[in-house]
Structure 1
């Protein structure tokens, strides 16, 4: 399927902005532990992954994914400032998450492209990256249990969902086994990334 790159970029930004706004409302509606589901980075990656997957070239997938993630960050922080009536400014945490959006856009834009284009040599790596980020986020909560004890149910759901994604995204046993193999280094690298992010945001 071919899609106009300019239209694709516009849709990516709009989708990201809408997700960012919906996050604010989700935080207000979900109760208890489930409140954290509204603004998990893993949840934000899902729409960015899928909208970037339909691009015709890898660089367009990366661009689309980055724009969607940037839209999510800016949509969230800007509309949060409007709703809570304070002056919007790009502070430390906004910059941190914008940096994550760019890095995440590169990684998960490529992941989406690899997953969608079945003839790619490392096709299963795309599925492993999306699956792995849920698995890694859940494991990270267990590693920092003192900070996330109130979110353990969410951590378990993330781990289970991450493993289920292997079955959902891949269509046969051979592809699922290859995805599981890729999942090992993805999880290790993911935990390193989460450790870095943890110390940047404490």
Structure 2
């Protein structure tokens, strides 16, 4: 199993055996309100399995993978990357932490570690992250990592036509999804 070592955390590439752990972190009652809303509810376990199974390989892949964020011997959260090559070369990141691990800088360290890994491993220089505008603390952390709003951002320049149809509006709709970009 591949591990990326940081100063305080380790990122471990998640295998299919970790899928339920990642899902449980995603839908935990104490963080669900930061990630989901009525119009965009949490996925069911079945939906998560159907949509995400290809990202639990236990190793780095050119397309992407989920990773566990380990801190002091426990799983503190999950981070993932999904690389796109259809229209331009980019990587989309996603992250969530358990509530007891929020505000410690672990998310910032995880993003910086994964961003550097993806850049070095796959030569990707452009990263996007698409949080809910109302998740103010997450947005602040993304800014610390070098992400910023780009007034010329157009998701159709990134996603394939199929992905654009399904994911183009973002998880929170066009009005509430914040599109952040980081370029090397």
**Do both proteins adopt the same fold according to a TM-score greater than 0.5, normalized to the shorter chain?**
no
- Greater C-alpha Rg: 1
Hey, which of these two has a bigger chunk of helix by percent?
A: 1
Scaled by the length of structure 2, what TM-score is found? 0.31
Hey, which of these two has a bigger chunk of strand by percent?
A: 2
